[in-house]
Amino acid sequence: MIPTRFLFISLCFLIFIACQKDDSANTPKSTESAKSFEAMNTFMSLKSFGTDPEKANDAVEALIANIETQISTTKEGSYIYKLNHLNEGEEKSVETPAQIANLISFSLSIAKETDGAFNPTLFPIIHLWGFTTEKYRVPSDTEIKEALTATDFNKVSLSYQNNNSAIVTMKNGMMMDMGAIGKGFAGDQAIQLLKEKEITSAIMDLGGNVQTLGCKPDGNPWKVGITNPWGDAPIGGIAICNKAVITSGGYERYFEENGKRYIHIFDSKTGKPVDNDLASVTIIAESGMYADALSTTLFVMGKEKAIDFYKKNHEKFQMILVMNDKTLVYTEGLQDILTITYPVKKKAIIKN
Using CB under 6 A as the binding rule, whether residue 248 contacts ligand AMP is answered as: yes
Q: Which residues contact 305 (CB under 8 A, 6 or more apart)?
A: 117, 298
How many whole angstroms separate alpha carbon 209 and alpha carbon 289?
A: 10
The 260-279 contact track toward ligand AMP, x by CB under 6 A, reads ----xxx-x-----------
Interaction residues for ligand AMP, span 130-169 (CB under 6 A):
none
How many whole angstroms separate alpha carbon 169 and alpha carbon 271?
A: 23
Q: At what angle do helices 288-301 and 98-113 cross, to 10 degrees?
A: 30
Instruction: Please report the sign of the dihedral spanned by the C-alpha atoms of residue 127, residue 133, residue 134, residue 137.
Output: negative
Interaction residues for Mg ion, span 151-170 (CB under 5 A):
none
68 binds, among ligand AMP, Mg ion, none (CB under 5 to 8 A by kind): none
Are the C-beta atoms of residues 162 and 117 closer than 8 Å to each other? Answer: no
How many whole angstroms separate alpha carbon 59 and alpha carbon 120?
A: 28
265 binds, among Mg ion, ligand AMP, none (CB under 5 to 8 A by kind): ligand AMP
Q: Any idea what DSSP says for residue 89?
A: S
Taking CB under 6 A as the criterion, the residue among 101, 103, 166, 180 binding ligand AMP is 180
Identity (one letter) of the amino acid at 16? F
Computed on alpha carbons and rounded to an integer, the radius of gyration of the chain in Å comes to: 24
Q: What is the largest CA-CA distance in the chain?
A: 95
* CB closer to ligand AMP out of 48 and 295: 295
The 206-245 contact track toward ligand AMP, x by CB under 6 A, reads ----------------------------------------
Identity (one letter) of the amino acid at 28? P
128 binds, among ligand AMP, Mg ion, none (CB under 5 to 8 A by kind): none
Using CB under 6 A as the binding rule, whether residue 68 contacts ligand AMP is answered as: no
Q: Any idea what DSSP says for residue 117?
A: S
Shortest gap between Cβ of 293 and Mg ion (angstroms)? 6
Shortest gap between Cβ of 319 and ligand AMP (angstroms)? 13
* CB closer to ligand AMP out of 201 and 268: 268
Are the C-beta atoms of residues 34 and 54 closer than 8 Å to each other? Answer: no
Identity (one letter) of the amino acid at 121? T
Interaction residues for Mg ion, span 286-315 (CB under 5 A):
292, 295-296
Distances (CA, A) of 173 to 33, 92, 124, 147: 46, 9, 9, 9
The 84-123 contact track toward ligand AMP, x by CB under 6 A, reads ----------------------------------xxx-x-
Total of chain residues touching ligand AMP, rule CB under 6 A: 18
What are 93's strand-pairing partners?
169
How many whole angstroms separate alpha carbon 22 and alpha carbon 29?
A: 12
Binding part of the chain for ligand AMP, among 5-13, 133-141, 163-171, 176-184 by CB under 6 A, reads: 176-184
119 binds, among ligand AMP, Mg ion, none (CB under 5 to 8 A by kind): ligand AMP
Are the C-beta atoms of residues 138 and 263 closer than 8 Å to each other? Answer: no
* CB closer to ligand AMP out of 191 and 283: 283
Shortest gap between Cβ of 215 and Mg ion (angstroms)? 25
Using CB under 5 A as the binding rule, whether residue 180 contacts Mg ion is answered as: yes
| Residue number closest to ligand AMP, CB atom | 179
Name the H helices within the chain. 4-26, 53-71, 79-85, 98-113, 123-128, 141-148, 182-196, 288-301, 303-312
Taking CB under 6 A as the criterion, the residue among 190, 278, 300, 322 binding ligand AMP is 300
How many whole angstroms separate alpha carbon 202 and alpha carbon 86?
A: 40
Binding part of the chain for ligand AMP, among 39-47, 291-299, 305-313, 330-338 by CB under 6 A, reads: 291-299
272-273 and 266-267: which strand pairing? antiparallel
- Which residues of the shown chain bind Mg ion in the complex (CB under 5 A)? 180, 292, 295-296
- Which residues of the shown chain bind ligand AMP in the complex (CB under 6 A)? 118-120, 122, 126, 177, 179-180, 248, 252, 264-266, 268, 292, 295-296, 300
